[in-house]
């Protein structure tokens, strides 16, 4: 469960594009990692439930589009992200800022760190997650 | 199968507004296949409603349950215990399912969460097309198994109209011309002589135009 005293991000990641670091990437946020054998496992209800569990933002890290081991995992994930973004927008959340997908080259932890920083910046500009308003 | 699509979440939020304890009831047959009202869609909608309410600082109890078919009493019965614990049911079935539920649970508001669209098939992954209008008098044998009543914009029984271009309908160029397909199919079947038949004007008495229909099978009535 994500704590409520600072921003929370849930990261769904394909194990072929990213590995959960042993040390925190950033100190000023809570990050919950959920690994997937392939980003094609990205599912709408899991993304929404991450928000229900207190995440302010949800990120999905996938392989570069032409490098998916299972051919089209990233493409499927991207479609589902778009679908869930539409749902978030309908309920007054900010689909674009609160839910994002990134193509990551395996081992590029620096890029992930920058993405998280950018996400945190985006979060400052929008309302906190519904869970944190309760 | 009967196809449908889930209503926009905003519309659903308005529909459930008067209630504090709702059951989202999925249907595991047709609407599941078209991703409108199966177990997965129930879970997504429940999550979206809970998030929306929390965001607005309101409270709602949302329960999830899915039965195999909402249009048959035998399956509806399986939801009775869940229905008894809520103050409204948001049904993700087609219109038939919603009404069957309303008949079974007379004192319970049964709310629609899906717009029923048509009788159709899944043409390719994620694409559903209308194939049958349920006109009550099937004439597919004349047309190589392709229905001009449903798939020709002009419902021509003695086509083609002459307006199609490159196999596409002149009314909507994104739609395949049904008569182009009928001719292709009859050619493959060696049944082009079918086109020499003059099909008489269609009797629409058997369609919905004659009012709500009832199908009676005496041999199944005791």
* CATH number of the domain encompassing residue A42: 3.40.50
Instruction: Examine the pLDDT at A130 and tell me if it is beyond 60.
Output: no
Instruction: Examine the pLDDT at A128 and tell me if it is beyond 70.
Output: no
CA distance B138 to B133: 10
Q: Is B212 on the interface with A (CB under 8 A)?
A: no
b/e for B9-28, b at 16 or more Cβ within 10 A? beebbebbeebeebbbbbbb
Separation in Å, CA B76 to CA A19, B88, B99, B106: 46, 15, 11, 13
pLDDT at A129: 53
pLDDT at A133: 42
Check CB contact under 8 Å for A52 and B50: yes
Q: Is residue A132 part of a domain?
A: no
ipTM of model: 0.88
Q: Decide if B201 contacts B158 (C-beta within 8 A).
A: no
Instruction: Examine the pLDDT at A132 and tell me if it is beyond 60.
Output: no
Q: Give B219→chain A minimum CA distance, Å.
A: 46
Residues B100, B162: one domain?
A: no
Separation in Å, CA A61 to CA A7, A42, A49: 19, 10, 17
Q: Is residue A50 part of a domain?
A: yes
Instruction: Examine the pLDDT at A12 and tell me if it is beyond 80.
Output: yes
Q: Is residue A130 part of a domain?
A: no
A131 band by pLDDT with thresholds 50, 70 and 90: low
pLDDT at B49: 98
Residues B107, B142: one domain?
A: no
pLDDT at A134: 35
Check CB contact under 8 Å for B10 and A51: no
Residues B95, B147: one domain?
A: no
Residues B71, B148: one domain?
A: no
Residues B104, B143: one domain?
A: no
Residues B170, B95: one domain?
A: no
Check CB contact under 8 Å for A131 and B52: no
Count of structural domains within chain B: 2
Q: Any idea how long chain B is?
A: 222
> Of the candidates B118, B144, B179, which is a domain's last residue?
B118
- Chain B residues whose CB is inside 8 A of the A90 CB are 8-10, 48
Work out the average pLDDT over A40-59: 96
Partner residue opposite B55 with nearest CB, options A49, A87, A130: A130
Residues B161, B58: one domain?
A: no
Partner residue opposite B8 with nearest CB, options A49, A90, A127: A90
Residues B25, B112: one domain?
A: yes
User: What would the pLDDT profile of B138-154 be if each residue is shown by its tens digit?
Assistant: 999 999 999 999 999 99
Among chain B residues, the shortest Cα distance to A46 is held by: B44
Count of structural domains within chain A: 1
Closest of B207, B27, B180 to residue B110, by C-alpha: B27
CATH number at residue B44: 3.40.50.2300
Check CB contact under 8 Å for B55 and A92: yes
Question: Domain range spanning residue B85?
Answer: 2-118
pLDDT at B210: 84
Residues B34, B72: one domain?
A: yes
Q: Is residue A27 part of a domain?
A: yes
Q: Is residue B127 part of a domain?
A: no
Instruction: Examine the pLDDT at B133 and tell me if it is beyond 50.
Output: yes
Q: Is A87 on the interface with B (CB under 8 A)?
A: yes
Q: Is B202 on the interface with A (CB under 8 A)?
A: no
Copy the structure tokens of residue B109. Answer: 């508001």
Question: Domain range spanning residue A109?
Answer: 8-124
Work out the average pLDDT over B1-24: 97
CA distance B24 to B9: 13
Residues B103, B160: one domain?
A: no
pLDDT at A2: 58
B209 band by pLDDT with thresholds 50, 70 and 90: confident
Instruction: Examine the pLDDT at A1 and tell me if it is beyond 60.
Output: no
- Which of the 8 DSSP states describes residue A129? P
Instruction: Examine the pLDDT at B41 and tell me if it is beyond 50.
Output: yes
CA distance B11 to B17: 10
- Chain A residues whose CB is inside 8 A of the B8 CB are 90
A3 band by pLDDT with thresholds 50, 70 and 90: low
Residues B107, B161: one domain?
A: no
Q: Give A28→chain B minimum CA distance, Å.
A: 24
Check CB contact under 8 Å for A91 and B9: yes
Among chain A residues, the shortest Cα distance to B41 is held by: A45
CA B23-B26-B31 angle, to 5 degrees, is 150
Q: What is the mean pLDDT of chain A?
A: 89
In which region does residue B62 sit, left (phi positive, over 0), alpha (psi from -120 to 50) or beta (all else)? Answer: beta
Check CB contact under 8 Å for A44 and B10: no
Instruction: Examine the pLDDT at A67 and tell me if it is beyond 50.
Output: yes
- Residues β-bridged to residue B115: B5
| pTM recorded for the entire structure | 0.92
Q: Assign A101 to helix, strand or coil.
A: strand
């Amino acid at each position: 469960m994500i704590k409520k005293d600072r921003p929370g991000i849930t990261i769904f990641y394909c194990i072929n594009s990213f590995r959960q670091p042993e040390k925190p990437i950033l100190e000023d946020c809570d990050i919950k990692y959920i690994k997937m054998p392939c980003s094609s496992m990205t599912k709408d209800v899991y993304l929404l439930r991450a928000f229900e569990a207190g995440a302010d933002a949800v990120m999905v890290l996938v392989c570069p589009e032409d490098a998916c081991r299972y051919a089209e995992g990233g493409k499927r994930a991207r479609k589902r992200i778009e679908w869930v973004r539409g749902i978030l927008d309908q309920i007054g959340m900010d689909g674009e800022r609160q839910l994002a997908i990134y193509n990551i080259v395996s081992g590029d932890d620096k890029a992930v760190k920058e993405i998280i920083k950018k996400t945190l910046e985006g979060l400052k500009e929008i309302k906190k997650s519904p869970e944190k308003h309760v | 199968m009967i196809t449908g699509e889930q209503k926009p979440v905003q519309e659903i939020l308005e529909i459930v507004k008067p209630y504090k304890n709702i059951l989202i009831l999925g249907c595991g047959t047709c609407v599941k296949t078209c991703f409108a009202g199966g177990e997965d869609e129930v879970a997504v909608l429940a999550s979206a409603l809970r998030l929306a309410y929390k965001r607005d600082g309101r409270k709602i109890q949302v329960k999830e349950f899915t039965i195999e078919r909402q249009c048959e009493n035998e399956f509806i019965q399986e939801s009775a215990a869940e229905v008894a614990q809520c103050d409204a049911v948001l049904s993700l079935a087609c219109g038939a399912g919603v009404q069957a539920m309303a008949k079974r649970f007379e004192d319970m508001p049964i709310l629609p969460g899906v717009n029923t669209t048509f009788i159709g098939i899944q043409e390719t992954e994620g694409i559903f097309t209308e194939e049958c209008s349920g006109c009550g008098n099937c004439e597919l044998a004349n047309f190589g198994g392709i229905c001009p009543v449903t798939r020709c914009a002009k419902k021509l029984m003695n086509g083609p109209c002459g307006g199609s271009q490159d196999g596409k309908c002149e009314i909507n160029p994104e739609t395949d011309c049904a008569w182009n397909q009928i001719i292709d199919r009859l050619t493959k079947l060696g049944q082009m002589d079918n086109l020499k038949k003059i099909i008489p004007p269609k009797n629409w008495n058997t369609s919905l135009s004659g009012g709500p229909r009832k199908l009676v099978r005496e041999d199944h009535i005791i």
